[in-house]
Amino acid sequence: MSSEKVYRASTTAPVNIAVVKYWGKRDAKLNLPTNSSLSVTLSQDDLRTLTTASCSASFPASEGDSLLLNGSPSDISGARTQACLRELRARRAALEAADPSLPKLSTYPLRLVSENNFPTAAGLASSAAGFAALVRAVANLYELKDTPSELSKIARQGSGSACRSLFGGYVAWRMGDKEDGTDSMADQVAEAAHWPEMRALILVVSAAKKGVSSSSGMQQTVATSGLFQQRITTVVPENMAIMENAIAERDFEKFAEVTMRDSNSFHATCADTYPPIFYMNDVSRAAIRAVEAINEKAGRTVAAYTFDAGPNAVIYYLEKDTEAVVGTFYHALQGADITGWKNESIKELKCGISLDE
Ligand code: DP6
């Protein structure tokens, strides 16, 4: 047994749900998007990944790097994880070269242990929080001085949406235009405290794993959809501008309209993909109709739906309208399972209603 020191760092990263969606890669290797996107970060009390990174000269080199994910060994030989680890090591190696007194952590095997505080079976995107936590844990372990935006460029290579989970609040991923991706990174549009009344309700429509993965779905859309061209050249740039304004002015009506329109536009490009991709199902569409009914009854827009690459709905609303939104969903979807998560700085909201097909 070696008595060599074990270096260790832990961190958490939150889940984010986009209100202007990322869908399409212009470079699959560097994970560069065809459009900018914008998301809201959810509370870490409710949805987060906790990752611990450790390394030591005493870890046998023959074992290499390893990842234990929710208690089970996980394969990290994939190109995306390798790209993240390679970049992090290179940055540490640069620090070590500049200061020879630093321990040579970049040469030691890495052990990563990662846990989600939500059931993987809930069918919620976990890759964003997962890669963001991995990158931040190793960056902390290596004592890197990089800013969150710099780290977001590394997390982006693990999973595009992960770059937005390096920040809380309202976060934009600017697509950039450089070929090497050095300007494709996330920044914070506003802190959670800027609009603390924001709430998110997640309707778990199906816990099943999605049929077509985001990665392959978006590649098929880029290759075959005509509608997609209009989305990336006109629809998204407009939505980004209106959304940033709506957030700055805390204008929920505008925020909600763009959120719903952008989700519709994204799913329309999926339907326009050949062969078509359908992520929403009948329960998803029932949730859309419920939101429309809530808004009609209120005489103003109090709720906004959005759907990622799966049937689960995320409903954004303001705290003052909790009764109208959560109450109506309870009645509209009798016997359904609704779990609510608050926006980052707000108190937890969990409702025990169940929604199953
Ligand atoms: C519909 O980030 O999962 O959730 O970069 O291939 O890992 P990869 O894709 P991923 O795609 C997320 C797509 C989305 C929209 C969004 O989060 O912006």
Query: What would the two tokens of residue 295 be?
Result: 């808004």
Instruction: For residue range 311-357, list pLDDT tens digits in order.
Output: 888 999 999 999 999 888 776 665 555 555 444 322 233 322 222 22
pLDDT digits (tens, 9 = 90+) for 2-17: 569 999 999 999 989 9
CB 34 near ligand 1, within 6 Å: no
Quick check: CB of 81 below 6 Å from ligand 1?
A: no
Band (pLDDT 50/70/90 cuts) for residue 72 is very high
Give yes or no for residue 227 having a pLDDT over 70: yes
Provide the pLDDT for residue 46: 73
- Asked whether 152 lines ligand 1 (CB < 6 A), one says no
pLDDT at 286 over 80: yes
159 alpha carbon to ligand 1 midpoint, in Å? 7
Q: How far is the CA of 253 from the centre of ligand 1 (A)?
A: 25
Q: Is the CB of 160 inside a 6 Å radius of any atom of ligand 1?
A: yes
pLDDT, one tens digit per residue, over 76-117 is 999 999 999 999 999 999 999 999 999 999 999 999 999 988
CA-proximal residue: ligand 1, atom 1 (nearest): 308
Contact predicate 91/116, CB 8 Å: no
Please report which confidence band the pLDDT of residue 122 belongs to, taking 50, 70 and 90 as the band edges. Answer: low
pTM above 0.90, yes or no: yes
Q: Atom 4 in ligand 1: which residue has the minimum CA distance?
A: 308
Q: Where are the beta strands (DSSP E) in the chain?
A: 6-14, 16-20, 25-27, 32-33, 37-41, 48-56, 66-69, 72-74, 110-116, 170-174, 185-190, 198-203, 303-307, 313-318, 337-342, 353-354
Q: For residue 39, give the ligand 1 atom closest to its CA.
A: 18
Q: How confident is the model at residue 64 (pLDDT cuts 50, 70, 90)?
A: very high
CA of 139 to the centre of ligand 1 (A): 23
